[in-house]
């Protein structure tokens, strides 16, 4: 996501108290009940939480979302962005990393850095969004086990999530072999198309649809009467990593796996280099994905294939399977591994490694 290029601000308040007025203990008292879900062996309130690891080991990952880098307080188009969506994404992207190992999430700890002027309502929305994602994405074993609150000049949210492999071997990025099928589970380019819509002048305001698309995930999104566009905005604001698919792919013998957080063009070469193979993607398979983005591409005059190839934040799974294996339900084959050293080719031509680098100027 491009840097917004303006000074750090605070979310709009609703007239309620700020975190500075309520203090650390007061804010915690407001948000901890909202985050309650699956119980940990010992939850928030002591120096550390305790989480079960019946497998004798656990997976662990950490990621940070920073204001104006990874999320906005207001979209470039002027649409308000909600704390709910930031909380949802904080949960989703970390649950996705555990999923990509073939593990089931068991706990999350959250560290929130907030300007004192942040409305408490924004933080409550964040907690609601986080909890809704844990519940809505099916992470039923994942306890919000603890956290930390501190002050800074900009909002940032760091989440660490742990996972249980349930006796399975972890699926690494490095196990793909020449001849393996390359498959994906989840949308390609949908979150990028949604981002483009949110940053565009396309009219997204309008009467809410009575279709329940936004239920039970939280407040309505700022999208007008077009259900196809609404779905893409939703993919950006509330991504749905397929949390059942990671363990299923592991059980089905996936040779390598990772989640698609930065886009095919950047993520596939990472898996290819780790495995020591080249990957050939099938243009026809990507065209199929691009056709699903046609409504947004038409509205914006954009090339949907660009979103499919370079778009990040879909949090689907990229997995490789032995050619003799049955690719599990929900995965679509989009290419294959060949002998090589990490090059991604599309229709025989090398793909420039484009995508999201946190320190690249945009």
Annotated binding-site ranges for ATP: 147-148, 173, 261
Query: What does the block give as tokens for 230?
Result: 């609404």
| Residue in this structure with the two tokens 């999430």, named with its chain if needed | 105
Distance separating alpha carbons of residues 346 and 356, to the nearest angstrom = 19
Q: Binding of a second copy at residue 24 (CB under 8 A)?
A: yes
Q: List all residues 6 or more positions away from 10 whose beta carbon is below 8 Å from its beta carbon.
A: 73, 115, 117, 118, 119
- Give the position of tokens 């095919």: 264
- Minimum distance between the CB of residue 328 and a second copy, rounded to whole angstroms? 18
2 touching a second copy, by CB under 8 A: no
Find the binding residues for a second copy in span 33-72 (CB under 8 A): 41-42, 45-64, 66-70
Which CB atom, from 191 or from 221, has the smaller least distance to a second copy?
191
Name residues contacting a second copy, limited to 283-302 (CB under 8 A).
none
Distance CA 2, CA 273 (A): 27
To the nearest whole angstrom, how small is the minimum distance from the Cβ of residue 343 to a second copy? 17
Letters for 168-207 (x = contact with a second copy by CB under 8 A, - = none) are: --x-xxx---------------------------------
Residue 199, C-beta contacts closer than 8 angstroms, at least 6 positions apart: 75, 76, 77
Alpha helices in 152-293 (DSSP H): 190-198, 227-237, 245-251, 264-275, 283-291
Contact string (CB under 8 A) for a second copy, positions 124-163, x = contact: ---------------------xxxxxxxxxx-x-x-xxxx
Nearer to a second copy, 150 or 219 (CB): 150
If binding is defined by CB under 8 A, does position 329 make contact with a second copy? no
- Under the binding rule (CB under 8 A), the answer on residue 264 touching a second copy is no
Question: Is the separation of the CB atoms in 266 and 355 below 8 Å?
Answer: yes
Minimum distance from residue 204 beta carbon to a second copy (Å): 28
Select 119 or 218, whichever has its Cβ closest to a second copy.
Answer: 119
**Residues of span 72-111 touching a second copy by CB under 8 A:** 96-98, 100-101, 103, 107, 109-111
Angstrom distance (rounded) from CA 205 to CA 46? 45
Q: How far apart (Å, rounded) are the C-alpha atoms in residues 227 and 245?
A: 26
């Amino acid at each position: 996501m491009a840097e917004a290029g303006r000074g750090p601000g605070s979310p709009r308040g609703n007239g309620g108290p700020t975190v500075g007025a309520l203090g650390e203990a007061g804010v915690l008292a407001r948000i901890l009940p909202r985050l309650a879900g699956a119980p940990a062996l010992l939850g928030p309130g002591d120096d550390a939480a305790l989480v079960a690891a019946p497998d004798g080991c656990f997976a662990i990952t950490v990621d940070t979302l920073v204001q104006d880098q990874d999320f906005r307080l207001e979209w470039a188009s002027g649409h308000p962005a909600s704390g709910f969506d930031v909380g949802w994404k904080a949960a989703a992207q970390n649950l996705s990393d555990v999923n990509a190992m073939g593990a089931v999430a068991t706990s999350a700890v959250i560290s929130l850095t907030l300007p004192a002027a942040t409305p408490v309502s924004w933080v409550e929305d964040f907690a609601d969004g986080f909890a809704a994602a844990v519940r809505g994405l099916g992470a039923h074993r994942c306890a919000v086990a603890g956290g930390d609150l501190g002050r800074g000049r900009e909002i940032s949210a760091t989440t660490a999530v742990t996972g249980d492999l349930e006796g399975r071997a972890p699926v690494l990025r490095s196990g793909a072999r020449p001849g393996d099928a390359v498959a994906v589970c989840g949308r390609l380019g949908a979150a990028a198309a949604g981002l483009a819509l949110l940053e565009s002048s396309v009219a997204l305001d309008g009467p809410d649809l009575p279709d329940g698309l936004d239920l039970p995930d939280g407040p309505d999104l700022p999208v007008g009467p077009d259900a196809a566009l609404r779905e893409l905005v939703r993919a950006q604001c509330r991504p749905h990593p397929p949390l059942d698919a990671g363990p299923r792919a592991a059980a089905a013998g996936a040779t390598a796996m990772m989640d698609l957080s930065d886009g095919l063009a950047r993520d596939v070469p990472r898996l290819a280099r780790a495995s020591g193979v080249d990957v050939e993607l099938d243009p026809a398979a990507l065209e199929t994905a691009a056709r699903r983005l046609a409504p947004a591409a038409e509205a914006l005059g954009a090339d949907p294939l660009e979103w499919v190839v370079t778009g990040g934040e879909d949090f689907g799974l990229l997995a490789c399977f032995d050619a003799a294996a049955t690719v599990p339900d929900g995965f679509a084959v989009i290419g294959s591994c060949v002998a090589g050293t990490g090059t991604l080719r599309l229709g025989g031509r090398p793909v420039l490694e484009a995508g999201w680098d946190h320190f690249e100027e945009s």
